[in-house]
């Protein structure tokens, strides 16, 4: 999963799938730049795949059909292309969904930008979801969940994704800049006075690493949390090679530190975080 914030929702869905507890319908915040459509397509293929592991296998007949855009058991209404989604297109979808799966597996209906559905269209979807066929899943994205019928929302499971938001706080941005320079050996690493300060720095570290991760993969670079650091991060991604796996590992390290700290008062967070920083700085010196 290229977008770090989609990893957790993905793993949760896979776990539900393995446990046979998938909901009939999921909906999530539409955010193309941050990967919402890619996420839906990935899930669509996963559900159709004949032998899925942690994602679709990419090799089975279903996957090949899907990749060629010819899978007979999946349908998409893309609201991005139209002013509104009328009841006719939903009825068409409804008709397809009611038929037996051509490939004998699951059927998947997708609606992107579902907030553009007319009330009539929304009611038509609701009707299917009130008595959902067992072998059918609905994947829905919406730019504005409030504009979906409440009754429809109550029939679907909300997939919560914490998309990045750009940080506007100048103090935090200059702290992030200081930390990055410290990791690169341009100045000393920040001093961690106490637990509270260390917790703030932990958030800054995680945000900075997530930005770095995006920059090193050349994705969504207009979505950085610390947008003013884009140039510095670009430089660091270009000249100091740190692998995506390593950066992801450091992000998990931040999260684990936070969890350990929350779970126990005896953790010396300032010390542990400064150790982590020193190790990261060492890797940059290699
Ligand atoms: Zn497959």
CATH number of the domain within which 215 lies: 1.20.272
Say if 165 falls within a structural domain.
Answer: no
| Alpha-carbon dihedral sign for residues 4, 32, 120, 137 | negative
Q: Say if residue 75 is in the same domain as residue 135.
A: yes
> How far is ligand 1, taken at its centre, from the CA of residue 119, in Å?
36
Q: Is there a single domain that holds both residue 63 and residue 178?
A: no
Tell whether 188 is covered by a domain. Answer: yes
CA of 18 from ligand 1 middle (Å) equals 15
Q: Give residue 168's pLDDT.
A: 76
Do 269 and 242 lie in one domain? The reply is yes
Per the domain annotation, does 93 fall within a domain? yes
Distance 65 CA to ligand 1 centre (A): 9
Report the separation in Å between the CA atom of 95 and the middle of ligand 1, taken as the mean of its atom positions.
Answer: 26
Average pLDDT over residues 242-262: 89
In a domain, 248, yes or no: yes
Residues 21 and 152 in one domain: yes
- Provide, rounded to the nearest whole percent, the portion of the chain with pLDDT above 90: 70
User: Is residue 165 predicted with pLDDT exceeding 80?
Assistant: no
Residues 6+ apart with CB under 8 A from 258: 199, 202
Q: Reduced to 3 states, what is the DSSP secondary structure of residue 103?
A: coil
Q: Do 99 and 122 sit in the same domain of this protein?
A: yes
Domain boundary among 93, 124, 159: 159
Query: Residue 255 domain-assigned?
Result: yes
Indicate if 207 and 87 belong to the same structural domain. no
- Tell whether 234 and 261 lie within a shared domain: yes
Tens-digit pLDDT profile for residues 35-46:
899 999 999 999
The DSSP letter of residue 134 is: T
CATH number for the domain spanning 24: value is 3.40.50.300
Q: What is the pLDDT of residue 163?
A: 82
Quick one: tokens of 243?
């692998």
CA distances from 246 to 78, 183, 209, 227, 256 (A): 37, 15, 10, 22, 15
Helices and strands per DSSP (H, E), number in the chain: 11, 5
Helices 7-18 & 36-48 angle (0-180, nearest 10): 20
Q: Give Cβ neighbours of residue 198 (< 8 Å, ≥ 6 apart).
A: 192, 269, 270, 273
Q: How many residues can be counted in the chain?
A: 286
Mean pLDDT, the chain, rounded, equals 91
Q: What 3-state DSSP class applies to 30? A: coil
Residues having C-beta closer than 5 Å to ion ligand 1: 49, 56-57, 60, 63
244 Cα to the center of ligand 1, angstroms: 26
| CB of 150 closer than 8 Å to CB of 120 | no
Q: Residue 211: phi, psi to the nearest 5?
A: -60, -45
Its domain, for residue 68, covers: 4-159
CA nearest neighbour of 225 among 216, 238, 212, 239: 212
**Token pair of 217 as six digits:** 């993969």
**pLDDT value of position 275:** 96
Query: What total of structural domains would you count in the chain?
Result: 2
Q: Are residues 203 and 256 in the same domain?
A: yes
Q: Do 242 and 198 share a structural domain?
A: yes
In a shared domain, residues 25 and 135: yes
Alpha helices in 49-139 (DSSP H): 61-67, 87-98, 119-130
164 assigned to some structural domain:
no
Predicted pLDDT at 1:
67
191 burial class (0-12, 13-18, 19+ CB within 10 angstroms)?
Answer: exposed
CA of 57 to the centre of ligand 1 (A): 4
Question: What confidence tier does 221 reach under pLDDT thresholds 50, 70, 90?
Answer: low
240: pLDDT strictly greater than 70: no
**Domain end among 105, 134, 159:** 159
CB 110 within 8 A of CB 73: no
- Is 145 a member of any domain? yes
Task: Decide if 189 is inside a domain.
Answer: yes
Mean pLDDT for 57-66 is: 96
CA of residue 171 to ligand 1 center, whole Å: 48
List, for residues 82-126, the tens digit of each pLDDT value.
999 999 999 999 999 988 899 989 999 999 999 999 999 999 999
Q: Which of 113, 136, 159 is the last residue of a domain?
A: 159
Does 167 have pLDDT greater than 80? no
If asked whether residues 179 and 147 sit together in one domain, one would say no
Helix 244-263 with 269-285: angle, nearest 10 deg: 170
Are 105 and 137 spatial neighbours (Cβ–Cβ below 8 Å)?
A: no
Quick one: pLDDT at residue 267? Answer: 87
Centre of ligand 1 to C-alpha 106, Å, is 12
Q: Distance from first CA to last CA of the chain, Å, rounded? A: 28
DSSP 117: B
Clarify whether residues 194 and 139 are in a common domain: no
The residue whose two tokens read 């430089």 is: 235
Which pLDDT score, from 0 to 100, does residue 34 have? 81
């Amino acid at each position: 999963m290229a977008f770090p914030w989609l990893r957790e929702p993905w793993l949760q869905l896979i776990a539900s799938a393995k446990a046979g507890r998938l909901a009939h319908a999921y909906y999530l915040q539409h955010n193309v730049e941050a990967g919402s459509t890619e996420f839906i397509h990935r899930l669509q293929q996963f559900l159709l795949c004949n032998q899925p592991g942690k994602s679709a296998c990419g090799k089975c007949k279903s996957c090949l059909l899907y990749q060629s855009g010819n899978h007979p058991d999946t349908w998409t209404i893309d609201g991005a292309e139209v002013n509104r989604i009328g009841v006719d297109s939903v009825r068409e979808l409804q008709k397809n969904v009611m038929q037996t799966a051509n490939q004998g597996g699951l059927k998947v209906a997708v609606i992107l930008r579902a907030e553009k559905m007319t009330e009539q269209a929304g009611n038509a979807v609701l009707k299917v979801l009130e008595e959902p066929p067992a072998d059918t899943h609905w994947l829905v994205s919406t730019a504005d969940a409030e504009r979906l019928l409440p009754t429809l929302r109550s029939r679907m499971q909300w997939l919560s994704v914490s998309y990045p938001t750009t940080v506007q706080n100048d103090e935090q941005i200059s702290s992030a800049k200081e930390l990055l320079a410290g990791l690169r050996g341009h100045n000393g690493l920040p001093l961690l006075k106490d637990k509270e300060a260390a917790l703030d720095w932990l958030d800054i570290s995680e945000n900075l690493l997530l930005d770095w991760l995006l920059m090193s993969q050349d994705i969504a670079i207009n979505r950085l949390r610390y947008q003013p650091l884009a140039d510095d991060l670009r430089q660091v991604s270009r000249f100091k090679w740190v692998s995506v796996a390593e950066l992801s590992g450091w992000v998990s390290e931040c999260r684990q530190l936070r969890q350990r700290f929350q779970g126990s008062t005896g953790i010396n967070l300032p010390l542990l975080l400064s150790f982590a920083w020193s190790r990261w700085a060492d890797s940059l010196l290699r």
